[in-house]
Structure 1
Amino acid sequence: MPKSRNDRKKKAAYTPPPSAEKPKVSPRWLVPAMVAFGLLGILWIAVYYIAGESVPYMRDLGNWNLAIGFSGIIIAVILSTRWH
């Protein structure tokens, strides 16, 4: 006579093996560098718009000041992806 479904042996729930990896830790320099690049990028753009004509080296760079400022912001975003 066939066994009923209730009589079958139930499978144990899957439990993954314990992980031998240690949790990843960010380097100590990462957060200060990320904040510094972000703030410097924002400040560079702000100074360019507020007093760009009176600052000698900013006047010479022209619209390249925007590229410099946004580069700092982009570097900060790239560093933030590496933060654990």
Structure 2
Amino acid sequence: MAAAAKAQKRQKPPRDPNTNAPWFKPVMFGFLIIGFLWILVYYLSNGRLPVQEIGAWNILVGFGIAFVGFVMTTNWK
């Protein structure tokens, strides 16, 4: 009986389905910030960085990364 009580105490309480996992907000903001920084670095380096070979497509890459973060905001609880 005592072992069953200890096992029951050790169980985590069920997670509230109306909240996000603890990693959700940092990942979401990370995508938004990285996308913004990608575009900022592209403009400040006159197209030499982050990936010179793809040229103006760097803007689309930056917006794509930021878009992933934006889409994640729709699921933020």
TM-score over 0.5 (shorter chain): yes
**1:45-71 deviations in Å (ceiling 9; x for gaps):** 00000114443x621110110111001
Larger Rg: 1
Q: Equivalences for 1:22-41 in 2 at 5 Å?
A: 24-41=18-35
Report the counterpart of residue 77 of structure 1 in structure 2. 70
Share of identical aligned residues, percent? Answer: 31
Paired amino acid for 1:65: N
Asked whether 1:60 is paired with 2:53, we answer yes
- Structure 1 stretches of 5 or more lacking a match? 1-21
Paired amino acid for 2:59: L
Q: How many residues align?
A: 62
Residues in 2 aligned to 1:78 and 1:58: alpha-carbon distance in whole angstroms: 25
**1:19-62 deviations in Å (ceiling 9; x for gaps):** xxx5611111110011100000000000000114443x621110
| Greater than 6 Å deviation, 4+ residue runs | none
Residues in 2 aligned to 1:34 and 1:65: alpha-carbon distance in whole angstroms: 20
Report the counterpart of residue 49 of structure 1 in structure 2. 43
Is the CA contact (8 Å cut-off) linking 1:52 and 1:58 kept in structure 2?
Answer: no
TM-score, L = length of structure 1: 0.65
When the two chains are superposed, the root-mean-square deviation of aligned CA atoms in Å is 1.6
